[in-house]
Amino acid sequence: MRILWLKTELLHPIDKGGKIRTYAMLRAINAKHPITYLALDDGSAAPDARERAAEYASEVETVPFRVTPRGTAKFYGELFGNLFSPLAYSLQRYQVAAFRERVRAAVERGEVDLIVCDFLTPWVNLPENLGVPVVLFQHNVEAEIWRRHTEVAGNALSRWYFGMQWRRTEAFERAACRAADHVVAVSDNDADIFRERYGVTSVSSVPTGVDVEYFNPAPFSARQPGRLVFTGSMDWMPNADGITWFTETVWPRIRAARPDATFSVVGRNPPAAVKALATPGSGITVTGSVPDVRPYLGEGSVFVVPLRIGGGTRLKIYEAMAMECPVVSTTVGAEGLPVHHNEHLLIADRDADFAARCIELLDDVSRATAMADRAARLVRDNFGWHAVADHFVASCMTAAPALRADASLPEPQGSI
């Protein structure tokens, strides 16, 4: 089966959850099915990103693309112009005619058996009536993220703007999901939303995975008492929002109970407001990009996921669990994962409760260790990437049953 995989970026550096999930899936799938990876290239990828694409695709093609920098006059001009568009700005800015023509040409040359649209965004460049099956790989319910932004927005103007983006994203997402031959979600929760809210009939869920060999605590076992850790791309608004909420409302409670506590915020491109948190005496460190998150997870006594906004599933939770780092998360942070409160992690949503759960784990090391051990066994036994990738391919066959030539593939299921 020849797969044309559509993406808005080259993968290296692999520094955020969506890239990690795509990279791991592609490496496993490409070993059995040749993949042509077609991506937009805005020049922000690593210098060797194109060469390293050979790690996950048989062929790679790119289309030049320029993202307007945030905060510039042109950026604000585009935001104003977007007021008159039916598309959300997060989708409109990726419309590229040359990308659309590349897709059409590849199909017309007879080089494609199946198209995978990775995330909702590339769909804006997908021609209609191509005559080959199309799978939409939904890492999130994108409209749900905008809905939650609307709910937590701090003023009326923000609520109006986020609400507009939410409604436009939802309309586009509904149409795309219903037009796709099959939708792959990353959790049963998301799959249910696509069925119930969008009326999608062909949808399956493929679980989040983790590289259990890479995320191994053995070389990184120096737990630091009182050390809390968060990892995640800080240029993703839900992460920045979560860290702001945590440091303003939760962290002072933890420090009052444990003055020795420290907090490491690990992730690329932290905005100025997040960088400013690392003041003398605050106990907070903001690292920016790091080459390897494992040393930070290895030092952590508690891994926090204080998200109020989001969709899909958080790979960071499985990474922390594989590293045997105890986890405290909000309900939103852990949604979609088959994990249970007080067995694999602790869940709390109010600031006082979140702080109390963190303090409990800092003070009761034996309880924290036992919970982390149970979580590590869960992810090691069930969520390695090769099994997840096989399930993804089987789900794709729902869109293209005529291509099921490999009898070794499992039958598609709702989830595993």
| Tokens 């593939």 belong to residue | 409
Residues 95-142 pLDDT 10s: 999 999 999 999 999 999 999 999 999 999 999 999 999 999 999 899
Return the bridge partners of 384, or none: 210
CATH second-level architecture of 227-382? 3-Layer(aba) Sandwich (3.40)
Residue 409's pLDDT is 38
What does the domain layout of the chain look like in residue ranges?
3-209+384-403, 227-382
Instruction: Please tell me what DSSP assigns to residue 69.
Output: P
Enter the tokens of residue 157. 């103007």
Return the bridge partners of 185, or none: 138, 205
Going by pLDDT thresholds of 50, 70 and 90, the confidence category of residue 413 is very low
CA dihedral 118, 121, 124, 127 (to 10 degrees): 0
User: Sign of dihedral through CA atoms 136, 138, 144, 149?
Assistant: negative
The model scores a pTM over 0.85: no
Residue 313's pLDDT is 65
Give yes or no for residue 411 having a pLDDT over 70. Answer: no
Give yes or no for residue 294 having a pLDDT over 60. Answer: yes
Residue 402's pLDDT is 54
Residues 340-367 pLDDT 10s: 999 999 999 999 999 999 999 999 999 9
d(CA 300, CA 294): 10
List Cβ neighbours of 395 (8 Å cut-off, separation of 6 or more).
Answer: 135, 182, 184, 204, 206, 412
Assess contact for 31 and 3: CB atoms under 8 A: no
With H, G, I as helix, E, B as strand and everything else as coil, classify residue 87.
coil
Angle at 120 (CA atoms; ends 118, 124), nearest 5 degrees? 105
Enter the tokens of residue 8. 């808005």
d(CA 302, CA 229): 6
Give the class (CATH, top level) of 3-209+384-403.
alpha beta
- Same fold: 3-209+384-403 with 227-382: yes
DSSP 313-356: --HHHHHHHHTT--EEE-HHHHTTSS--BTTTBEE--SHHHHHH
| Tokens 């021609």 belong to residue | 127
Question: What amino acid is encoded at 83 in this protein?
Answer: L
Question: What amino acid is encoded at 411 in this protein?
Answer: E
Residues 215-271 pLDDT 10s: 999 887 688 999 999 999 998 889 999 999 999 999 999 999 999 999 999 999 999
d(CA 291, CA 219): 16
Enter the tokens of residue 68. 């307007």
Average pLDDT of the chain to the nearest whole number: 91
Residue 406's pLDDT is 45
What separation, in Å, do the N-terminal and C-terminal C-alpha atoms of the chain show? 23
d(CA 362, CA 283): 15
Assess contact for 330 and 339: CB atoms under 8 A: no
Give yes or no for residue 293 having a pLDDT over 50. Answer: yes
